[in-house]
Structure 1
Amino acid sequence: MEVVRSVSQWSAGTSQTEDSIHRAYCALIEEAEHFIYVENQFFISGLSEDDVIQNRVLESLYTRIMRAHEEKRCFRVIIVIPLLPGFQGGVDDSGAATVRAIMHWQYRTICRGKSSILEKLCSKLGSTAHDFISFFGLRNYGRLFDGGPVVTSQVYVHSKVMIVDDRRALIGSSNIMIEVYWGRETQRYATYRIAVLIEDKEFVVSSMNGKPWEAGKFALSLRLSLWAEHLGLRTEEVAEIKDPIAETTYKDFWLEIAESNTKIYQDVFSCIPNDTIKSRSTLRQSMSHWKQKLRHTTIDLGVAPDKIEFYQNGERIVMEPMTKLKSIRGHLVSFPLEFMSQEDDLRPMFIEGEFYASPQVFH
C-alpha cells in the first residue's frame, strides 16, 4: 500500500507542490493490461494538445486505448459518474451556472469537440471506439411515502475509485479534475487530497477475456461488490461477472442491464437528463409539459403519472408505473452523451456571477 497526495504551499504549507495522485492515475492507466474501472464524482481532463486543462488522465487513457487497438487486444475502460453535477439548481434555472459549467467541461472531456476522447477515438477507430470506453450513471426509484407518488432520482456518485486488472486499486478523495492533481487547489474545492494505492499480494484464481488470470483478492472482491450492487445481481449470479472484459459480462450483463434500465426509466418518467433533450428550448418544453401534467417535477426528481401508456407490437398498453419498474435491475443506466448537445457553450454568461470566476474553479 502506498499513500499519495495532492498538496502545495497554499493547501498544506509544504515548500514544494506534490502531484503524486495525478502521477499514480496516469501510471496505473499506462500499465493496465486488460481493464480499467473508474467511479468518480467528476470526469474532467485533457489530451496532450489541450492547453486549457492540464491534468493528463485523459491522454493516458487515449494512449492506452490506441495501443490496445494497434495490438488488436481486447481492452475496456468503464467509467461511472453522476448523471448531473450535484450543485444547487437545475440546468436552465437562474443560479444554475455552476451546474452548466461543470457539464460543459465534462462533455468537452468525454464527447464534444476535438479535445474529447470519444471524438478523437472515433476519428481513428470509428464506432469501435465504444467497445474500448463507455460511460454510465446510476439511478433509483421508489415512493416518496406509503401510497405516495412514484419518483426517481439519480444515485449520486461521490466515490473516487479506480480498479485496474482486478489487481490494483486507487481509492481516496481526489476528483478527476485539474487542481487536485497539481496541488494548487482553489478555495472552491477541498484544501487537501489524499489517496491510497493498493496493490494486491494475495491472489485468487479468476479469468480475463476467457483465459485464466490471477486476480488480486482485494481488488477483485471490491469490483464484484460494486458491480453486484450496480447490476442488481443475486448471490449466485456474481460468479458470472468474474471476467470483467468477456463478451458475456460486458454485453450480456453490463450493457444489456444499463440499456434496459435506461429505456424503462425513460418510458415511465421521461427522465432528465436524457439523450432526446438536446437544447435548452427542448428542456424548457419538457419541463413545462410535465409540470402541467403532474403539477410538480424538478430536474433532479422525476415523478411518474398515475398510469403509463405505451405501444408494444402495435398494441396500446396501460399499466401502473410500479409494474413496469419491476423489470429494473440494480441502479446502472447509460450516461446521456447527447444531452444538451446542440448548445454550443454551457459556460456561465456575463450576467451570471460565475462568469467572473477563473475557469479553473470549474475544472
Structure 2
Amino acid sequence: MIVQRIRLVVDGIAERFGRSTSALIAPAREFDPGHPWFLTATERGNDDTRIAPWTEGNRVENLVHGKTYFAALARALEEAERGDLVFFADWRGDPEQLLTDDGVSVEDALTAVAHRGGVVKGMVWRSHMETLGYTGPKNRKLALRLEEAGGEIILDQRVLTLGSHHQKFVVVRYRRPEASDVAFVGGIDLARARRDDGNHFGDPVSRPFPPEYGEIPAWHDVQVQLEGPSVRDVEDVFRERWEDPSALSRLPWHAIPDFVRGVTREPSELPPVSDRPEPVGTCSVQLLRTYPRRRPAYPFATNGERSAARAYAKALDRASELIYIEDQYLWSVDVARVFAAALRRKPNLKLVVVVPKHLDDDSPITIPSALLGHSAALEVIRAAGGDRVLVLDIENDRGIPVYVHAKVCIIDDVWTAVGSDNFNRRSWTHDSELTAAIIDETRDTREPLDPAGLGDGARVHARSLRLELAREHLGRADGDDADLVDPQQFFDVISASTTALDNWHRNPSSGPRPAGRLRLHEISVPPVWQQRLAALAYRLFVDPDGRPIGMRLRRRF
C-alpha cells in the first residue's frame, strides 16, 4: 500500500512536468552545442567554486577492482619525491590495508612519501561513534602515523548532523616535467576489504561483514585514473575543502581528546597551486559534486551544490537505448523517479542495474528502513519500464554473493560517470561526494556506430568500460564480447544468462553450473508494521535530505 501510494505521487509529478527528465530535477538549461551531455557553468548552480565547467584533453584509465587501483596508486606514490604533492580525501582510511602483493600498506606508502620530503596532506571524515559501527579510531590512527612522518591529516567533521564526507580521491603532482600528474576518483576507500580482483574471492585484509557474504567478503568496485587538465580540478576540490575556515569540529567531546592526543585542529597552509597539466588524451572530464547547504556555509558552495544530481538528469534526458548502472544503494524514490521519467519518455530505452544482494550491515534499525526505501524505488522504476528493466546482483563462481560497492553509470555508450555518489537522496543532497563524468572524443568503430541515433556516436571509453564489466559478470575472457556491443542485444544476452543461472540454482542437479555470475535481484519487503516504524528512521537517518526547504517542497535539485 505504501509503495502504491508513492507510485501514484511520482506518476502525478511526472505528468505535471511532462516528458523531460531534466524538468524533474534541473533548472532551465543553456544551449551548448559543444557538449550537450555536460552541465554548463550556470547549470552547476554554484558560482562559488573555482573548478572549471569541464576540461578537454585528458587520459582516462578504468581501474576495475580494488587490487587494480591500489597497484596503480602504489606506483604513483612510489614516484613521488621531495617537493611533490600528494593530496587525498577519504571516508575511511585503514593504515594497515595493503596496496600491493609484497606487503606495502596505506601507512607505508604515504609515510614513505613524507620521509622523502614530499608534501602529504589528507582529509579523512572524522566519523561517528565507534559504538555505532564507524571507524573513527582507525581514521585517527592514520592521521597520527602520518603526522609522525611529517605529513598532515585533518579529521574533517564539517558536515550536517548525521552526515559524512564521502569523497574518495587522491591527487599526485610531480615537480619533474617528465612525470605525469595523476588523480584517482571513484568509489574505493583506502580501507580494509577493498583489495579484491576479478575472481571475487575477497581481500585477505578483511573486515566484519554480514554472514551472507562469507568469512572473507568479495568486493566489486571501480575507480578511474585521470591525467591531463582535469587533475588540477581534482586538486582544487581538495584545496577548497582544506581552506574552509570553519572549525573541523565544534563538539567538545572531539576537541578535548584532540588536544590530549595532539591531533591537528587547524590545517596548515597549502603550497602554491601549479598550472594545469598539459592535454595528454582524448577525454573530456566534468567533475560533479554534492555539498549540502550548511551553516556556517561552505565558502566554495554557500548554498550547497547538487551538480551530481543535475548531471544525471541532463544525461538521462538524452538517453535512448541503454542505461547501465552499478551501485551500492538504489533506495530513494526521489532518485528512482528520474530514471522512471526517462523510461516513460523513450519506449525503447532499457535499464540494467547491478546492486548488492544484501545490505552491508545487520542493524535492526537500518535493515527495515533501507529495504523500505529500496523496495519503493524499485517499484517506481519497474512500474515505468516493465520488462525493459533488469535489476541484478552478483555471486562469485562459488555461489557466494559479491558486495557491489561501485558507483558507475553508462548511458548509450557515450556518457560515463564514476565516483563516490550512490543513487540515493543522501548522496545527491546531504553528504560530500565527487564523481567524474567522462566523454571520450574518440568514437568506437564497431556497429552500431551511433546507438542512440542522435549523432553522438558510441565513444571508446564508455563502450570499453561497459564491455569490461559485462565480460566479468558473464564469466567471459577478454575479447569475448561481439554479441554484447549492440546495446539492445546486450540486454537480451544479460537477461538470458541471468535466467539460466537462476534456473540452475532452482535445480542444480540438471547439469553443470552455467557460466556467469548475475542473478535476478529479489528482496523481501518488510511487513507493514515495520514499514511504519522504519519510515521515520529512513527519512532522518538512513537517507536524509540536505536540500533547502524550498527545493524539497518543489521537488527540485
- Fold match (TM-score > 0.5): yes
- C-alpha separation in 1, matches of 2:357 and 2:451: 34
- Is the aligned partner of 1:160 residue 2:407? yes
Map of 2:519 onto structure 1: 333
1:1-363 aligned within 5 A: 1-8=285-292, 10=294, 13-14=298-299, 15-46=302-333, 55=334, 57-69=335-347, 74-87=348-361, 89=362, 95-111=363-379, 116-119=380-383, 121=384, 129-142=385-398, 152-182=399-429, 184-185=430-431, 192-208=432-448, 214-246=457-489, 249-251=490-492, 253-268=493-508, 324=511, 326-336=512-522, 339-341=523-525, 343-344=527-528, 346-347=530-531, 349=533, 357=537, 359-363=539-543
CA contact (8 A) 1:209 1:245 kept: no
- C-alpha separation in 1, matches of 2:458 and 2:535: 48
- C-alpha separation in 2, matches of 1:356 and 1:68: 35
- C-alpha separation in 1, matches of 2:541 and 2:526: 24
Q: Per-residue CA shift, 1:210-254, capped at 9, x if unaligned?
A: 9797311111110000000001123453122111213xx322x21
Q: Per-residue CA shift, 1:239-270, capped at 9, x if unaligned?
A: 22111213xx322x2111111112223445xx
Amino acid at match of 1:117: I
- Note the C-alpha offset of 1:166: 0.5
Are residues 360 and 24 of structure 1, via their aligned partners in 2, closer, same or farther at CA, if it must alter by over 3 Å? farther
Which ranges of structure 2 fall in alignment gaps of 5 or more residues?
1-284, 544-557
3-state DSSP of counterpart to 2:314? helix
- C-alpha separation in 1, matches of 2:353 and 2:339: 11
Amino acid at match of 1:334: L
Are residues 179 and 328 of structure 1, via their aligned partners in 2, closer, same or farther at CA, if it must alter by over 3 Å? same
Amino acid at match of 1:343: P
Q: Which protein, 1 or 2, shows the higher relative CO under an 8 Å CA cutoff with sep ≥ 6?
A: 1
3-state DSSP of counterpart to 1:233? coil
Are residues 158 and 345 of structure 1, via their aligned partners in 2, closer, same or farther at CA, if it must alter by over 3 Å? farther
- C-alpha separation in 2, matches of 1:211 and 1:347: 42
CA contact (8 A) 2:372 2:526 kept: no
Computing the radius of gyration from Cα coordinates, the structure with the larger value is 2
Are residues 199 and 209 of structure 1, via their aligned partners in 2, closer, same or farther at CA, if it must alter by over 3 Å? closer
Aligned length: 253
CA contact (8 A) 1:86 1:99 kept: no
- Note the C-alpha offset of 1:360: 3.4
Q: CA RMSD in A?
A: 2.7
Amino acid at match of 1:164: I
- Note the C-alpha offset of 1:355: 8.2
Q: Per-residue CA shift, 1:250-301, capped at 9, x if unaligned?
A: 22x2111111112223445xxxxxxxxxxxxxxxxxxxxxxxxxxxxxxxxx
- C-alpha separation in 2, matches of 1:342 and 1:197: 36
- C-alpha separation in 2, matches of 1:101 and 1:224: 34
- C-alpha separation in 2, matches of 1:199 and 1:255: 27
CA contact (8 A) 1:209 1:243 kept: no
3-state DSSP of counterpart to 1:206? coil
3-state DSSP of counterpart to 1:106? helix
- C-alpha separation in 2, matches of 1:59 and 1:348: 22
3-state DSSP of counterpart to 1:99? helix
3-state DSSP of counterpart to 1:220? helix
Are residues 198 and 355 of structure 1, via their aligned partners in 2, closer, same or farther at CA, if it must alter by over 3 Å? closer
- C-alpha separation in 1, matches of 2:491 and 2:536: 44
Amino acid at match of 1:6: T
3-state DSSP of counterpart to 2:500? helix
Map of 2:168 onto structure 1: none
CA contact (8 A) 2:319 2:349 kept: no
Are residues 263 and 345 of structure 1, via their aligned partners in 2, closer, same or farther at CA, if it must alter by over 3 Å? farther
CA contact (8 A) 2:407 2:419 kept: yes
- C-alpha separation in 2, matches of 1:346 and 1:140: 32
CA contact (8 A) 2:323 2:351 kept: yes
- C-alpha separation in 1, matches of 2:344 and 2:366: 34
Question: TM-score, normalized by length of structure 2?
Answer: 0.42
Are residues 257 and 345 of structure 1, via their aligned partners in 2, closer, same or farther at CA, if it must alter by over 3 Å? farther
CA contact (8 A) 1:22 1:181 kept: yes
Question: TM-score, normalized by length of structure 1?
Answer: 0.63
3-state DSSP of counterpart to 2:465? helix
Percent sequence identity over matched residues? 21
Map of 1:92 onto structure 2: none
Amino acid at match of 1:362: V
Are residues 345 and 22 of structure 1, via their aligned partners in 2, closer, same or farther at CA, if it must alter by over 3 Å? farther
3-state DSSP of counterpart to 1:203? coil
